[in-house]
């Protein structure tokens, strides 16, 4: 069976992590000794996920939000100790992919959201640290009504009701997508003349921006919009290396 390093080297190359300036390290964050038979994927690195991964017999955990972020305390805090202790006690490696996983044109969160919503002709959108991380798409014909787009978003994220600010045109023919906490990219969507913008976690200012600028704003949950990429990575590793993949969705209303 492959080592954690072999799997993460494969993902590092696939996602071109060296091309991104990110808020934390991408790739292998915590090593382990065992070869990998089971990969667990999840959105965020915390105790609930690690406990569930241990129950699944995980050898490698792959997440979108890792352990280490710019500006966090430099010492090992009590919560960090609990997280690391679970990884060490169960000999589980941890890898994280943040902006590279948002941005990937085939396997990223935004590309998969666009595909799931039926968007056509995807193009890069929303520059972060020098790289576009979002996707903008079109809807042919008469486009979609806001109710239909809302229904598609709700179904795609597993039934969660999105927050919707009705500020745009009657028919939606263009949509910008930035998963997670992407509220302020709505300004780029406005500048491009897009009819609607979808993100995960809203900020209060989004209401006024949407109504004043004439664009629909939808927020479907930070966590809910970022389950897609890590799940895809686990499936790719299962296909490429013959490992077992389990996606663990720890419920998160944010």
Binding site for a divalent metal cation: residue ranges? Answer: 64-65, 102, 222, 226
Residue-by-residue DSSP string for the chain:
---HHHHHHHHHHHHTGGG---SS--EEEE--SSPPSEEEEEEE-SHHHHHHHHHTT-SEEEEEE-S--TTS-SS--HHHHHHHHHHHHTT-EEEE--HHHHH-TTTSHHHHHHHHTT-EEEEEEEEETTEEEEEEEE--TT-B-HHHHHHHHHHHTTSPPPEEE--S-SSB-EEEE--SS-GGGHHHHHHTT-SEEEESS--THHHHHHHHHT-EEEE--TTGGGSHHHHHHHHHHHHHH--EEEE-------
Q: Detail the residues annotated as belonging to a binding site.
A: 64-65, 102, 222, 226
């Amino acid at each position: 069976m492959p080592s954690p390093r072999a799997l993460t080297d494969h993902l590092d190359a696939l996602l071109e992590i060296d091309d991104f300036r990110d808020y934390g390290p991408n790739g292998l964050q915590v090593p382990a000794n065992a070869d990998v038979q089971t990969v667990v994927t999840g959105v965020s690195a915390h105790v609930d996920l690690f406990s569930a991964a241990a129950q699944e017999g995980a050898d490698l955990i792959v997440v979108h939000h890792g352990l280490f972020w710019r500006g966090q305390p430099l010492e090992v805090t009590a919560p960090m100790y609990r997280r690391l202790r679970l990884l060490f006690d169960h000999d589980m490696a941890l890898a994280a992919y943040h902006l590279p996983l948002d941005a990937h044109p085939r396997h990223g969160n935004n590309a998969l959201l666009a595909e799931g919503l039926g968007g056509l002709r995807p193009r890069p959108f929303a520059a972060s640290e020098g790289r576009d991380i979002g996707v903008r798409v079109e809807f042919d014909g008469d486009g979609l009504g806001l109710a239909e787009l809302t229904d598609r978003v709700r179904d795609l994220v597993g039934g969660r009701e999105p927050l919707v600010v009705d500020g745009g045109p009657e028919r939606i023919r263009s949509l910008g997508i930035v998963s997670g906490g992407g509220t302020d990219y709505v300004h780029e969507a406005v500048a491009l003349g897009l009819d609607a913008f979808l993100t995960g976690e809203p900020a209060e200012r989004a209401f006024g921006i949407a109504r004043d600028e004439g664009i629909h704003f939808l927020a479907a949950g930070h966590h809910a919009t970022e389950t897609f990429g890590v799940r895809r990575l686990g499936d790719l590793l299962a296909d490429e290396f013959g490992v077992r993949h389990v996606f663990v969705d720890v419920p998160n209303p944010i």
